[in-house]
Structures are given as C-alpha cells and as structure tokens.
Amino acid sequence: MGKITIIGLGPGNFGLITLDTWEKITSTDKLILRTAIHPTVAELDKRNVVYTACDDFYEKCASFEEVYNNIAEKLITEAKKGLNVVYAVPGSPLVAEKTVVIIRDKAKEANVELEIMPGMSFMEVLYQRLNIDPIDGLTILDAADLDNLPSEEMPSALVITQVYNQHVASDTKLTLMEHYPEDYPVTFIRNLSLPDEEIRQIPLYELDRQPNIDHLTSLYIGKMPKHEETFDLSPLEDVIQTLRSPGGCPWDIVQTHKSLRRNLIEEVYEVIEAIDLEDKDLLCEELGDLLMQVVFHARMAEEAGMFSMQDVIDGITEKLIRRHPHVFGDINVKDADEVLKNWEEIKRAEKKDRKSVLDGVPKDLPSLMAAYKLQHKASKVGFDWPDIDPVWDKLHEEVNELEEATVDSSTERIEEELGDVLFTIVNLARFLKIDPEIALTAANRKFKRRFSYIENKVKDKQQKWEQLTLLDLDDLWQEAKMLEENE
C-alpha cells in the first residue's frame, strides 16, 4: 500500500512554494496535479519535472463535484498500487481546496496513509495587498459553495475563490445580490502575485462584465456595516406581476405603455406638489405611486421580451457612473458649472444619432418646459442674448405686437403673437434662473387657494355670486392676500 501526500503549489509565483514542497515534487514516485493551468507549472516544465494533470476530468464531467470525486478515486487507486503519490493543488492544500476534503474522507475509508503538508496560499498575498488582518473575521468560500452563505447578515468579510469563468461569475453575482445591495463595492482579484495581477474595486452588479475572468479570479467583499438599510423592489414587482397575470386585475391586465402615459405624468406632478407643500408623508406616498408606474412599465416591457427592471436599474447606474468621471474616474472639476459642461460633452458623445442641436426635446413635453429646453439647447451654441436687458426690450416689443394684433387681426395672428409673448416670457424666466413651469404651477395653486377663500366667504355670508360686484370680490381677494402675507 502506497501513501498520498498533498502539497500546495503556492499562489502563482514559483518563488512562493516551500523547500519541503520542492523536495516532495522532485523525489516522488508519481506527481499528480489537480490542474496544469497554474503559473507554477511553467516552472516545473522548465525543470523537466514529470507529472500527470487531471484537467481531462474538467472536460468530461458534468459538475465540479464529479470532477473532485474522480480525482480522489484516481489517487486512491494509484496508492493501492503501492505508489507514493504526491498530489499538488494550487495555493495551499488547507485553504479553500475541496478535493482535499474529499480525498481525506476516501483515504480514511480505504485505509490509505495520507499526509497534508502546509503551503502558502493566495490568502497570505491577499492580506498584504489589501492590508487586512484575518483576525478581524474572514469567511473563505469556493464559488461553487455559495449555498453555504448564512441566511442572515454576513458576520464577517468574505473571500470567494475559484470564480472560473463568466458563467460562474454571473451565478456568483446573483447569489451575492440576495445578501448585498447590487451596487455594494467588491474587490475583483486576478493573477495575484503575478506580474499582471489585477486588484480593483467594482460595484457588485458589474462582476460578470469583467474581461479575462479565469481560474485565477477571486473576490473580496468587506463586511457590511451593521444596521445598514437596504431596499428590495421584489415585493412591488411581485404585486405588479400578480395584477398582470391571468386571474389578476382586469384593469391592470389590459393596460399598455400608451394607456398609462397620462397616469405617469399625473404622478410626476403630484410628487412636485408634495415637494412644494414640504409634506414629507405625502412626498413618501407620491414617490411610491411614481415608482409603481416605473415598475409597471418595466413589467410590461419584460412580458414583451423588451427589457427587465434590472436592465432599467443597470442602465441608469452605468449612465450615472459614466457621466460622473470626476467622482468615479480621474477627472478633476472646480465647480458645478464645470460638472454640467462635462455632462453635456459626454452626453453629446453618447447621442451621436442626434443631427440637430435641438434634438432630444420630447414632443409631448408641456409647452413651457419645451420652450425652456429649446432655448437652453440653442444657448449652448451661442444663439442667445448676452444679458437680460435685451430680453426685457423683446418682451415689450412682443406685448405691443400682441396689442396691435387684437385690434383688427385674425384669430390665427393673435394666437401667433400671444405665443411669441409666452415664448419671450420663458426666455426671461431662463435669465432669471426660474423654471417657468414651476412658477406657473405655483401661481395656479395660489389662485386656487385665494379663490377658495372667496368661495368660503360667499358661502358663510349666505350670499349669491350675482349679488356681488367685481369690487366686492376684489376686496375679498385682497383679504385673502393679506392673510397669506401675514402668516
């Protein structure tokens, strides 16, 4: 009966294997490698070391568990032939090496002598590179074992090894997103201790989008701060899906993107009203209604095979990162104006299909908002007044033209001149740095508030509207105005 000795080939650099390990490699009857895809193996070839690798199991077997069991059976068979077998694994045999666990159990059952030698794992290099101390708490898991993650909050930092390829990275991401926010920072690690090592921080949702993911890829995830609040869209998505499903709500089932346009617009204005009223409870409620509209549209799109809610979230997240290079990149800015300038330059580079400077203003935008956006876009290429004084002159000119048109012109001409007045007022608002849509909304609200005061007074006095003169009504209006000013 032979013996099995398990050694580690270190984290990658040949100089990091131990002298004891090298002595075993050069004196064994048979050297078997778990995989020949490891940087140290190139040095073994240079030194004419004879070995057998188990990479063919990875190609033939349907799962990692089957691979590992076949490797263990191979080693037991060789030992039973009377050979002293050295089995070499990447890193250390005692750190995140599942085959060692299986071999230990099978060797005991077969009564085969087993020795496991200490070796240097990639973890020692990781501690040094990331400046972390494992005494503070660290959990190490193979990417194939993420089902062992605790159901509650992770009690420690986490290292995930063997992120072999894009598919494994995608599965790893989806599993981790059940425990961490999708934008939680994770450290992407590849080729540790080698000349081309990569150590960089990325948001979790970008994990499977990294280039060159291979067998030397790992992750480090710092411990999540205690009591950090996270949100979950799943309950809302589930409700919308149920409402849209057969047997759900008849009204929700028949809705389309077009049928819900007005609802979406109304919810936006209700959010704006809650902001203006400075009512935090109402704002919370209205933001929920608006979010429901977003999830509803995303659900309909997913049913049609267009995109999903995750695509919506990923898209806006990537856009924000892309358009804030002064935060997420190496661009320096001195003030908010320069931030906006950079934003517009990046946006222009992204929207190459736009032929006109004025492209990008939605056709269904409220007229005041559309006018503001058109003028703002034109101003960016220098088509603008130098200051506000000519705008006042232009406004007086347009008002005079409107007044003249009302004398003997057609309805079409009056409408045109009135439009010019409104367009110029929007220009004036722009120079005053006032949003005309918000200003008019506030004026409408003020009118409604004061008129309601008049209505209540008329009702309290049991009067009829036709009994009151315009002067009487104006007196009540002034009362309402004074009451507001004195509040």
In the sheet where 84-89 sits, what is the strand order?
Answer: 52-53, 30-33, 84-89, 3-8, 113-116
Using the structure block, give the residue that is written with the tokens 């439009």: 419
**345 and 263, same domain (yes or no):** yes
Q: Which domain does 264 fall in, by range?
A: 234-350
Asked if the structure places residue 73 within a domain, the reply is yes
**277 and 307, same domain (yes or no):** yes
Which run of H or of E encompasses 88?
strand 84-89
Per-residue model confidence (pLDDT) at position 423 = 92
| Residue 95, φ and ψ in degrees, nearest 5 | -125, 110
- The one-character DSSP state at 83 is -
Asked if the structure places residue 175 within a domain, the reply is yes
Measured N-to-C along each axis, helices 389-408 and 411-431 cross at an angle, to the nearest 10 degrees, of: 170
Q: What is the pLDDT of residues 293-325, one digit of tens each?
A: 999 999 999 999 999 999 999 989 988 888 888
Asked if the structure places residue 414 within a domain, the reply is yes
Q: Which of 171, 197, 221 is the last residue of a domain?
A: 221
Q: How far is 243 from 250, CA to CA, in rounded Å?
A: 8
Q: How far is 4 from 76, CA to CA, in rounded Å?
A: 8
**415 and 444, same domain (yes or no):** no
**102 and 21, same domain (yes or no):** yes
**83 and 152, same domain (yes or no):** no
**414 and 377, same domain (yes or no):** yes
Cβ neighbors of 58 (< 8 A, separation 6 or more) are 35, 67
85 near 74, Cβ under 8 Å? no
Domains: count for the chain: 5
Asked if the structure places residue 355 within a domain, the reply is no
Cβ neighbors of 79 (< 8 A, separation 6 or more) are 1, 2, 3, 4, 85, 107, 110, 112, 113
**Which pairs count as long-range contacts for 210-214, CB under 8 Å and 24+ apart, including other chains?**
210/169, 213/163, 213/164, 213/165, 213/166, 213/168, 213/169, 214/164, 214/165, 214/190
Q: Which of 62, 95, 119 is the last residue of a domain?
A: 119
**37 and 89, same domain (yes or no):** yes
Asked if the structure places residue 226 within a domain, the reply is no
Asked if the structure places residue 98 within a domain, the reply is yes
**294 and 374, same domain (yes or no):** no
Per-residue model confidence (pLDDT) at position 58 = 86
CATH number at residue 60: 3.40.1010.10
**81 and 112, same domain (yes or no):** yes
Q: What is the pLDDT along the chain (487 residues), one digit of tens a residue?
A: 788 999 988 887 788 888 999 999 988 889 999 888 888 888 899 999 999 999 899 888 888 889 999 999 999 998 898 888 999 988 888 887 888 899 999 889 989 899 999 888 888 888 888 888 888 888 888 888 887 777 666 778 888 888 988 899 999 999 888 888 888 999 999 888 788 889 999 999 999 999 889 878 889 998 877 655 566 788 999 999 999 999 999 999 999 999 998 898 889 889 988 998 889 999 999 999 999 999 999 999 999 999 999 999 998 998 888 888 888 877 787 777 777 777 767 766 666 666 676 776 667 677 888 888 888 878 877 888 889 999 999 999 999 999 999 988 888 999 999 999 999 999 999 999 988 888 888 888 889 889 999 989 888 888 888 888 889 888 888 988 888 887 7
CATH number at residue 157: 3.30.950.10
Q: Which of 119, 153, 173 is the last residue of a domain?
A: 119
**160 and 114, same domain (yes or no):** no
Q: How far is 380 from 361, CA to CA, in rounded Å?
A: 14
**21 and 109, same domain (yes or no):** yes
CATH number at residue 239: 1.10.287.1080
Asked if the structure places residue 362 within a domain, the reply is no
**426 and 456, same domain (yes or no):** no
Per-residue model confidence (pLDDT) at position 238 = 93
Asked if the structure places residue 359 within a domain, the reply is no
3 near 83, Cβ under 8 Å? no
DSSP helix/strand/coil, 420: helix
- CA distances to 133, 179, 181, 369, 447 from 155, rounded to whole Å, are 15, 11, 16, 51, 58
| Residue 388, φ and ψ in degrees, nearest 5 | -80, -20
| DSSP E strand stretches across 96-142 | 113-116, 138-142
Q: How far is 482 from 468, CA to CA, in rounded Å?
A: 20
Per-residue model confidence (pLDDT) at position 186 = 93
